[in-house]
Amino acid sequence: MATLRDILARKGTEVISVRPADTVLHAANLMNEKAIGGLLVLEGPEPVGIFTERDVLRRIVAPGRNPAETLVGEVMTAPVTVAGPELSTDECAALMTERRIRHLPVRDGNGLAGVVTIGDILAYQVREQQATIAQMTNYLYDVR
pLDDT digits (tens, 9 = 90+) for 52-61: 999 999 999 9
Please tell me whether residue 62 adopts helix, strand or coil conformation: coil
Residues 112 and 46: their CA atoms lie apart, in Å, by 8
Task: Go through the domains of the chain in sequence order and give each one's CATH number.
Answer: 4-141 (3.10.580.10)
Beta bridge pairs of residue 38? 52
Predicted pLDDT of residue 141: 82
Q: How confident is the model at residue 138 (pLDDT cuts 50, 70, 90)?
A: confident
pTM of the model: 0.83
pLDDT digits (tens, 9 = 90+) for 33-87: 999 999 999 999 999 999 999 999 999 999 999 999 999 999 999 999 999 999 9
Please tell me whether residue 26 adopts helix, strand or coil conformation: helix
pLDDT digits (tens, 9 = 90+) for 109-129: 889 999 999 999 998 888 888
Cis peptide before 79 (omega within 30 of 0): yes
Beta bridge pairs of residue 43? 46
